[in-house]
Amino acid sequence: DQQVKQNSPSLSVQEGRISILNCDYTNSMFDYFLWYKKYPAEGPTFLISISSIKDKNEDGRFTVFLNKSAKHLSLHIVPSQPGDSAVYFCAASYNNNDMRFGAGTRLTVKP
Amino acid sequence: DAGVIQSPRHEVTEMGQEVTLRCKPISGHNSLFWYRQTMMRGLELLIYFNNNVPIDDSGMPEDRFSAKMPNASFSTLKIQPSEPRDSAVYFCASTDRFLVSGANVLTFGAGSRLTVL
């Protein structure tokens, strides 16, 4: 049962442009949402999070938007840089219990 | 801190053999998670422990899989007997979920790549 879904397996953008990665979830009880970034041969690393009581959280070039009514969140990267090329995982948890991940989206930022 | 330590980094074995993956969480972290990454399903939660106690093992695919956490600094994931479809990257992650408020941020190890021939 995939409670967290990332329907786009890959995304390619030009350096300097905006990257938008999308994520949908099915469990309305989730209270925290997180994005992780993963480089090859490494474990995922935490990028940014958002509480379910907010609709936006910004950290430098990274902004996460949450639309609870649509059960949808997105990660915006502006401007995109070649070093941002990685696999991005969306994750969600309820009451700080288990953490459910999506299948990931591979982002390629072209110079 | 050296982070979450997993071993082995790579394992190649033959079908039917026993496989044991090991994890050392970050000192002071009281929750530990095992995930499996595959192309089709991304990161699947297999099992997680709080204070060395298994809380949810509903993600463990079959009885061939078992996990233990005998103390706060060590956990194992065992597959016996292994099958080719078990080939994947297995990640261990830890967090100090009881010590912080807000989002439950996991720290991952580098993973163990398992190939079953």
B13-34 per-position pLDDT tens digit: 999 999 999 999 999 998 999 9
B70-82 per-position pLDDT tens digit: 999 999 999 999 9
Q: What is the overall mean pLDDT for chain B?
A: 92
Q: How confident is the model at residue B100 (pLDDT cuts 50, 70, 90)?
A: low
CA-CA-CA-CA torsion sign (B56, A50, A7, A71) = positive
Shortest CA distance from B108: residue in chain A: A43
In this complex, which of B42, B106, B111 lies closest to A99 when CB atoms are compared? B106
Mutation target for A interface from B36, B105, B107: give the one with most A CBs within 10 A.
B105
A22-53 per-position pLDDT tens digit: 999 999 999 899 999 999 999 999 999 999 99
- pLDDT number for residue A1: 64
